[in-house]
Amino acid sequence: MNLSKYNIERRYIVKRSNTRPGLRLTTGVPAFFVAHDTGNPGASAEAHFRYFNNLQGRSASAHTFIDDKQILEIIPTGTGDEPGEKAWHVLYNVKTDNERFGYNANDAAIGVELCYGGGIDFEQAYRRFVWYLAFCCTKFGKNPRLFIPSHKQLDPARKIDCDQALKAGGKTLKDLIADVVSEMAVSAAPTPVVPDFATLPVAVATELIDKYVRPAWAAAGQQPEADHFHRLATNLRSAAGVDDALHALAAPVKLHKSNVQEVVFRWLSPAWYVARDAGDPERARHYNALANWIRAAAGLPSA
C-alpha cells in the first residue's frame, strides 16, 4: 500500500492515570485495532486532544483521532518511534475481547476513533480512517478481516460505535473492512523490478556455447567437470531468455559474475591475444565485443 499517502501526526496528551497511564501494551506491539467513533458529532481530532489532555475525574481515552483533516495519535501506538501504550477505550469487565483475542483491548489494542458529523466531511475522514487501519494492519502484520473489531462487536449491550458514524456516511462495518482490505491490496502488488542487466543476444550465447563450452564439456569426461560446463551453458542460455531446449523463457536471468570471469579468462582473453598477435584487429574486436556482452548480461560495466 501507499504508506505515505497521509501524514500521521503524533502529539501526546500528558501522562495521567485516568487517561494516559504511561504503561506499555501487554503485548508489546498492538495485537488488534478497535474501530470506534467519538459519539460526539462535529468534534474534531484537535478538540479531542484538548478534551483528553484536560480530562479529570473519570477514566477514558483512545489512541488515535481521525477527522477530515488529520490523523492524530494522542497516545503512543507503536506506529512511530515510541512503543505502544495502554489507553482506556473499552470496559474491563466486558469479556468479548478476552474471549476473541486473548487480551483485553485496553491492554493489547489500539483504539481508533472516527470523528464525524457537524462540519466534518465524512468522505475525507472515512478515507483517512480506512488508510490508517490499513497502515496498522500492514505495519503489524494483521489480517483486517480478523483484527478490526468495532466497539459495538466487543460491547454490544452498551455500544453502537463505530457503526453509527459509518451509517451517517452510508457505510457499514463490512464496507469498512472491505475498504481496508483493498487499501492494503494495492500494496500487495509486486513492485516492478527494473532489470540492472542486459539480455544476452541469442547469437552470442550460441557462439560461446558452440565454440567453447560444448567442446570443453565433451572433453571433460569426469562427471563434476562435465556438470560444471553443462551448468555454464544453461546459464548462458538463461541469460539470453531461452531454456536448454531453446524454448523462450518469460524473462532472461541475470548471468553470474563468476560465469563471466570464467568465459573471459578461459577463452575470450586468450583468443583476443592470439588475434592481436596475428595482426587481426577485427577478430580482436569481436572477442572484446563478446566479453562486453556477457559483462552486460551480468550487470557489469564494459572493459
Complex with Zn ion: residue 20 or 36, whichever CB lies closer: 36
Residue 86 as a binder of Zn ion (CB under 5 A): the answer is no
Residues paired with 66 in a beta bridge? 71, 114
C-beta of 161 vs 163, nearer to Zn ion? 161
Q: Does 36 bind Zn ion (CB under 5 A)?
A: yes
Contact 204, 259 (CB under 8 A): no
3-class secondary structure per residue, 104-164: CHHHHEEEEEECCCCCCCHHHHHHHHHHHHHHHHHHCCCCHHHHCCEHHHHCCCCCCCCHH
Does 161 interact with Zn ion (rule: CB under 5 A)?
yes
Q: Minimal distance in Å, beta carbon 145 to Zn ion?
A: 20
CB of 44 within 8 A of CB of 101? no
20 backbone dihedrals φ, ψ, rounded to 5° = -130, 90
Smallest gap from Cβ 161 to Zn ion, in A, equals: 4
CB of 66 to Zn ion, least distance (A): 13
Nearest approach, Cβ of 136 to Zn ion (angstroms)? 16
User: Distance (Å, rounded) from C-alpha 254 to C-alpha 301?
Assistant: 14
- What track of x and - describes contact with Zn ion for positions 121 through 160 (by CB under 5 A)? ------------------------------x---------
Return the number of the residue (38 or 235) whose C-beta is nearest Zn ion. 38
Beta carbons of 90 and 105 less than 8 angstroms apart: yes
- In the complex, minimum distance from the CB of residue 103 to Zn ion, in angstroms, rounded to a whole number: 17
Identity of the residue, 138 or 153, whose beta carbon is nearer to Zn ion in the bound complex: 153
**Least gap, CB of 152 to Zn ion (angstroms):** 8
97 binds Zn ion (CB under 5 A): no
- Output the CA–CA distances (angstroms, integers) from residue 114 to 2, 9, 69, 120, 149, in the order listed: 21, 15, 12, 10, 14
Of 67 and 161, which CB lies nearer to Zn ion in the complex structure?
161
CB of 180 to Zn ion, least distance (A): 18
- Residue 121 near residue 180, CB atoms below 8 Å: no
Nearer to Zn ion, 94 or 220 (CB): 94
Contact status: 163 vs Zn ion (CB under 5 A): no
Give the dihedral sign, CA 199/202/204/207: positive
**Does 63 contact Zn ion by CB under 5 A?**
no
Please choose, out of 13-21, 28-36, 101-109, 127-135, the segment that lies near Zn ion by the rule CB under 5 A.
28-36
Assign 93 to helix, strand or coil: coil
User: Nearest-CA neighbor of 63 among 17, 10, 101, 129?
Assistant: 10
CA–CA distance, 200 with 297 (Å, rounded to integer): 6
Give me the residues that bind Zn ion (CB under 5 A), please.
Answer: 36, 151, 161
